[in-house]
Structure 1
Amino acid sequence: MSGISAEQVAHLAQLARIDLSPEEILSLTTELDQIVDSVAKVTAVATPDVPATSHPIPLQNVFRPDVVGETLTLEQALQNAPAHDGSRFKVSAILGEEQ
């Protein structure tokens, strides 16, 4: 056991301005203690001879080549727009009065 105490959890909750009930403090104390113990176990087996990995299986680039294809002309892109100024879509302001 790592020794996370209820007082430590209550202190952290106070620092984070989180109002916890005594039952929540007790529950979080147990959960945090388990998390710290799990991290300690992983740290114990993560020795220098174990290579760091970001994924459990090797991955290769699965993307297709970046090739330019057909694109819409400006007129085609704007033809069904409810409102435009000839070169851009016109949309209503989303920030209200903050302009």
Structure 2
Amino acid sequence: MTFDPSRPDLTIGIVGAGIMGRGIAQVAAEAGIRVLIADMRPEAITEARNFCADMIRRKAAKGALTPRLLRLLLRGSAGRAPAPRSPTRILPTAAW
């Protein structure tokens, strides 16, 4: 079996929503990968989601992302299969 990074159903699971986990989540979401994240502290997941959204907004403000891509990343509908319902989902599905 070969790894295909462009698969439309590619999902990454991250354990820990701290500095490293949220950074990995942000990069993966920007690359169009569905991200699931878990943490012992439920509020850490909310903090990570807010952090990622803020960082994505900053990139858009600097012109690194188009307004359309920003909306897709934050809204989570960019052409991939819907992510499974999960209380630990950090960012909606995004692809471009």
Greater RCO between the two (CA within 8 Å, min separation 6)? 2
Instruction: Pick the TM interval, shorter chain.
Output: under 0.3
Decide which structure has greater strand share: 2
Computing the radius of gyration from Cα coordinates, the structure with the larger value is 1
Q: TM-score, normalised by structure 2?
A: 0.27
